[in-house]
Amino acid sequence: MSHYRYRKNDKVLITDDVDPLLITGLTRLGYQCDYQPDITLENAKEIIGTYNGIVINTKIKAYKDFLESGKNLQFIARLGSGLDIIDLEVAHGLGIYVLSAPEGNCNAVAEHALGMLLSLLNRLHQADREVKAFLWHRERNRGTEVDGKSVGIIGFGHAGRAFAQKLNGFNVDLLVHDPFINLTSLLTENQHEATLDQIQAKCQIISLHVSLNPTSRHLIDHKFLQACQQRPILINTSRGAVVKTADLVMALDEKVISGACLDVFENEKPETFSPDEKIIYSQLYQYDNVVLSPHIAGWTVESKRKIAEVLLKKIEGLEAEK
């Protein structure tokens, strides 16, 4: 990686909505901020060559052709954690620093995952609709407690650890799997390192907190779900492509799993659904034992500011190297 070549009045393109703290902080550091939260990927690619830095979210895919158009790019700042929207190998080869802020929204993701789980277990999503329709069904909305369950956490980065912390007061047995992290110093009481086979055998709840890469794409498929022995609830607040949607629908049909909490999906643009996708997602949307949200797990008032704070601090660190 080449040394950071900051120059006063370097230009930064901000391509999504950010907390004003980030713009104020960058301006204080001497950057010229061009705030274009509604810019499209195509338009960003046309003008990126004139900028030294860019702040992006999911709509900007910083792949090879985009990065090569950024002749003066020194850094990419990702609003959040997922780096699958950036070709890291190309960025590294071009000497572009890649910054992200998983510390900024991990608590939001953890709270959202727990909220979805509690809603599903206590049938709050269904009971709410029924009461508003003047229906009063107590017995069929009898809930299930988290207490005493075995919970599998796959992926133990910032979000996985935050979710584990939220579960500390629930008297659960936590089985943790992450082949990319040394878990020895991270696990606390009632947290145990486990293989995927052990999670499939023992856990009534399985929560996904992995990045999207070749090893995690369609990690949760027909084979994985069929091997689950406790009919678990599946929670996915990581990346949609980690779960093969058609196989998940099949598992719900066959009652291989007890339910699902999904904040992310393989296709998050309903207007682009293929005929087959329309069928699959229409089926998914019909289940009473499924809770869904539109990729908002990390999308809180607090996380918006925290992400800005984290990225500004990391950009300040680059600036200090000049």
255: nearest Cα among 291, 228, 286, 231: 231
Strand order of the β-sheet with 32-35 is 32-35, 11-14, 53-56, 75-78, 97-99
Q: Could you give the angle at which helices 301-320 and 102-121 cross, rounded to 10 degrees?
A: 160
Mean pLDDT of 61-73: 96
Confidence of residue 75 (pLDDT cuts 50, 70, 90): very high
Whether 5 has a pLDDT exceeding 90, the answer reads no
What confidence score (pLDDT) does residue 1 get? Answer: 43
Quickly list DSSP for 270-311.
GGG--HHHHHHHHHHTT-TTEEE-SS-TT--HHHHHHHHHHH
Span 314-320, mean pLDDT?
Answer: 84
| 145-288 and 11-103+302-320 share a CATH fold | yes
Query: Which secondary-structure segment (H or E) carries 12?
Result: strand 11-14
User: With respect to CATH, is domain 11-103+302-320 assigned 1.10.10.10?
Assistant: no
- 251 pLDDT above the threshold of 80: yes
d(CA 68, CA 201) in angstroms, rounded, equals 47
pLDDT at residue 4, as a whole number: 60
**Residue range 164-185: mean pLDDT, rounded:** 95
Using 50, 70 and 90 to split pLDDT, how confident is the model at 190? Answer: confident
E strand segments, 88-212: 97-99, 150-154, 173-177, 191-193, 205-208
Q: How confident is the model at residue 304 (pLDDT cuts 50, 70, 90)?
A: very high
pLDDT at residue 205 tops 70: yes
Asked whether 232 and 203 are in contact (CB, 8 A), the reply is: yes
Looking at residues 277-281, what average pLDDT do you find? 98
* DSSP 3-state percent helix, strand, coil across the chain (nearest 5): 40, 15, 45
pLDDT for 244? 98
How far apart (Å, rounded) are the C-alpha atoms in residues 253 and 251?
A: 5
Report domain extents, the chain: 11-103+302-320, 145-288
- In this predicted structure, the answer to whether residue 322 has a pLDDT above a threshold of 70 is no
Mean pLDDT to the nearest integer, 31-49: 96
What's the CA gap between 244 and 69, in Å, rounded?
Answer: 34
Domain 145-288: CATH superfamily is NAD(P)-binding Rossmann-like Domain (3.40.50.720)
**Which pLDDT score, from 0 to 100, does residue 108 have?**
98
What is residue 189's predicted lDDT score, i.e. its pLDDT?
Answer: 85
Given pLDDT bands bounded at 50, 70 and 90, which one contains residue 3? low
